[in-house]
Structure formats: structure tokens, C-alpha cells
Amino acid sequence: MASISTSIPLIRFQSNSFKLTNKFKRQILATGLDFRPEIRLLNCNFSYFNKKYRKKERDFVFRVCCSSSEDSDNKFVGNEVEKEKDIVELEKPVGKLQETVDSIAPILFGMKKHISTNVAVGLCLAIAFVVISIREYLIRKSRSNHHGSVEDLVKRGQLRSDRRGISRPLKYDDPFNNPLVKVSKSNSTVEMCGKVYRLAPVTLTEREQSNHQKRRSRAYQWKRPTIFLKEGDSIPPDVDPDTVRWIPANHPFATTVNDIDEDLAQSNVYQKRGVPFRIKAEHEALQKKLETLQNEQKLSKLVIDPGSVKDFERPFKSFSSHETQDGNDSTPKPDGSVNSSESTTSFDELQKP
């Protein structure tokens, strides 16, 4: 019953609110719907409440739209009552009830004391609505503002659509709680990728886990080898034989011979910038060769100017090159690739005549 009668003010507003913009109408409908449960609760003096509520709504409409005077308000109300009567006649089953509603109506119209509170409520609702609509607008705007995204690169064929993932906001998608994973209410089944599976809880306890650990520590006693030796080698004096791992001499993937010593390998790994050790060594060897050649042929005029060499090598300088370089400043030792190509060209020129 209650729901039928409350639907009437909604109808009325739809027919009457020609002055309202779409948005306002929507807002009113929304508030009307919000009130519905309350009305159902107050079943006893339902008709009274209904009128009061209706009046509240109307006041709100007028404050928002044109802030009309009181008498126009009343006229408007009269109009509405008539219209409502028409509606009531159409709806026979609720006719009786609506008649009582209308008979109480004029009494209620005299109650002006609610108006001040109604103004406040209306104002609050209006402000809230304006804020909400502005927020909505801003969100829509930012959402549609996607020009120049990676999507465009895909459209232009610069990026393969299946090879990109970086721009997907799926980044923080919870894999336990996404649309493809649905757990049933009883937690006994789960639906994944369209298939339903039965679930069983994991029963492993801490004690079982530690029992397994104990069993394993009895079964497998092991000390991780820390040194690898080729089969046939002798064990170094300070090494615990238990920690030696013997590698067959013909092991397909492993070798125990290192052409580089441990400290150097470590510093190679830790090197952050500069020319890698091996490359530098090769350049230095080449440079040495060139120098000896130059000394032999006594062509001192074609020696590269040491000053310019210094300029080139600065960016390539690294910690290990300093020791070799500090001793003899007089002889140039370029180690950059630019220098080496330059020196080889000069070397070619030397050979020509």
C-alpha cells in the first residue's frame, strides 16, 4: 500500500516540474526514493507523513528554481491537489486511501512552521547536489582526456598491442578477488574462468611440518661444498675435505679453471662505470705495441700530442688505471676507443711512405 501511494508524488513531480532541468528532476526522484522506507515504517499516520513529505519536496523545488513567494506556492499546491485527484480516480484500488489523504491535506497546508527547516534542508541538498555534479563532471573530463596515451602508439603501429603491459592499470588488481574468481557463499566452491571447483582446506599443521623437517635432517646429512676441484687435483692444506666438490674434468657445463684471479673477478663485478677491465687491458696492449713501433722507427714528430690524449682519456679513467699511469707521465697512454682508432690511422700513415 505504502509503496503505491508514495509513487504518486513522484508522478506528480514528473508532470509538474517543467521548469526544472533534467538534473534537478533526477535529484528529486532520488530523494523521493530515499524516503520510501521511512514511509513504510510509519504505516499508522502514513497519510499525514505523506503530505508533509510532499510539501517538503515542493518547497525544495521552489527554493532551488525560482524562490517564489508564499501565495504562488499555495496556488501551485491547489493545482497539484486537483491533478492528484485525477490520478486517484484512475487508480480505483487506492481511491479510498487517497481520499483521506486529500481531506487531511488542507489542514497540513496551514503548517508553516516547518518552512524554515525546509529551507535549510533544501539549501543543503542543493549544495550537495552541485558539489556532486561538479565532481562528476571533473571525473568525466579527466577520464576522456586520454590523448597521446600508449593506446595511440599501438594504433600507429609503433607498438605491438600484445607486447605492451606497462600502461595497463591492472597493475594492482587483486588476483584473489577479481571477476574471474568467484568464491561461493559457503566457501566450499570457487568459480574460475567459468568452471566450478570444489574447495578443500589445507590441513598441514606446524607440527607436521617440523616432523617432516626432522625426518629430512635425519635422512639427508649434507654440508654444502664451498670449493670445487677438478678430479685428480690435490686438496689444498687449509680446506676441509667435506666441503670439496669434485668436478669431472670433462664436465659439459662446468670448469674449475679460471683464467682470472678471484679478487680481480670480484672487482669486475662491483665495477659501476668506466671501461671494463678486459677491454682496457686490450687497449693498453695495443698502445704498448704502437709505442714500441714508434720508438723503433724514431718518428717522434708523429707522436700524438700528450695534452689532447689526456682530454680523451678522462672520461674513461677508472680506479685501476691510475697505478699504472702515475709512474710515467711523460709517455702517453690513451685507452679510449677514440684514441686507439686515431693511433691506428697514424700507424697506417706511418706505413705508407
Partner 1 sequence: MISLQLHTINPNSSSLKTSSFPISTSSHYFNSKSLKPHFKSTPYNTSTIVSVLQWNRKPQLAGETPRVVVITSGKGGVGKTTTTANVGLSLARLGFSVVAIDADVGLRNLDLLLGLENRVNYTAVEVLNGDCRLDQALVRDKRWSNFELLCISKPRSKLPLGFGGKALIWLVDALKSRQEGSPDFIIIDCPAGIDAGFITAITPANEAVLVTTPDITSLRDADRVTGLLECDGIKDIKMIVNRVRTDLIRGEDMMSVLDVQEMLGLALLGVIPEDSEVIRSTNRGYPLVLNKPPTLAGLAFEQAAWRLVEQDSMKAVMIEEEPKKRGFFSFFGG
Residues 17 to 46: which contact partner 1 by CB under 8 A?
none
Applying CB under 8 A, among 113, 156, 185, 298 the residue interacting with partner 1 is 185
Q: Among candidates 138, 158, 141, which has minimal Cα distance to 149?
A: 158
Nearer to partner 1, 35 or 246 (CB): 246
Q: Please report, as residue ranges, which positions from 239 to 268 form the binding site for partner 1 (by CB under 8 A).
A: 245, 247, 251-260, 262, 264-266, 268
- Who contacts 178 (Cβ-Cβ below 8 Å, separation ≥6)? none
Kindly state whether residue 108 participates in binding partner 1, applying the rule CB under 8 A: no
Applying CB under 8 A, among 174, 305, 323, 348 the residue interacting with partner 1 is 174
From residue 152, how far is each of 143, 155, 156, 159, 161 by CA, in Å?
A: 16, 5, 6, 9, 10
Q: Please report, as residue ranges, which positions from 309 to 348 form the binding site for partner 1 (by CB under 8 A).
A: none
CB 285 to partner 1: min, Å: 14
Kindly state whether residue 183 participates in binding partner 1, applying the rule CB under 8 A: yes
Exposed, middle or buried, 22 (CB in 10 Å: 0-12/13-18/19+)? exposed
Nearer to partner 1, 177 or 330 (CB): 177
Neighbours of 260 (CB within 10 A): 10
Applying CB under 8 A, among 182, 288, 289, 306 the residue interacting with partner 1 is 182
CB 315 to partner 1: min, Å: 14
Kindly state whether residue 75 participates in binding partner 1, applying the rule CB under 8 A: no
CB 275 to partner 1: min, Å: 9
Applying CB under 8 A, among 15, 189, 308, 337 the residue interacting with partner 1 is 189
C-alpha dihedral, 165 to 168 to 169 to 175, nearest 10° = -60
d(CA 184, CA 199): 10
Kindly state whether residue 173 participates in binding partner 1, applying the rule CB under 8 A: yes
CB 156 to partner 1: min, Å: 17
CB 219 to partner 1: min, Å: 6
Q: Among candidates 29, 64, 68, 49, which has minimal Cα distance to 114?
A: 49
Applying CB under 8 A, among 43, 103, 213, 324 the residue interacting with partner 1 is 213
Which range, of 39-47, 61-69, 120-128, 216-224, touches partner 1 by CB under 8 A? Answer: 216-224
- Measured in whole angstroms, the distance separating CA 118 from the mean position of its chain's CA atoms is 45
Kindly state whether residue 146 participates in binding partner 1, applying the rule CB under 8 A: no
From residue 313, how far is each of 176, 206, 246, 274, 284 by CA, in Å?
A: 56, 62, 45, 11, 12
From residue 188, how far is each of 176, 184, 199, 203, 307 by CA, in Å?
A: 15, 7, 5, 15, 80
Kindly state whether residue 204 participates in binding partner 1, applying the rule CB under 8 A: yes
